[in-house]
Copies of this chain bind each other. A is one copy, B any other.
């Protein structure tokens, strides 16, 4: 079943930051789509099956940012 999960990412300041987060999160196994809103820090992750949030958080950290929350 298609799954959409949203996270709040902190520390992004520009479009380059958005691109970095998109790239890293997009490489997580199972992720089929990624959207990032710079103004709000909202990260939307789509997948066919649920993806462990720890993997998403790790990808965001790998890009150099932090996750403040998940909803």
Binary flags per residue of A7-50, CB closer than 8 Å to B gives 1, else 0: 00000011011011000000000000000000000000000000
- Shortest CB-to-CB span from A22 to chain B, Å, is 13
* Max count, chain B CB within 10 A of own CB: residue among A17, A19, A20: A17
> Within the assembled complex, what's the spacing in Å between the Cα atoms of A17 and B13?
10
- Shortest CB-to-CB span from A64 to chain B, Å, is 8
Residues of B within 8 A of A20 (CB): 16
Residues of B within 8 A of A14 (CB): 13-14, 16-17
Instruction: Enumerate 9 A-B pairs (CB-CB under 8 Å) in ascending A order.
Output: A13-B13, A13-B14, A14-B14, A14-B16, A14-B17, A16-B16, A16-B17, A16-B19, A16-B20
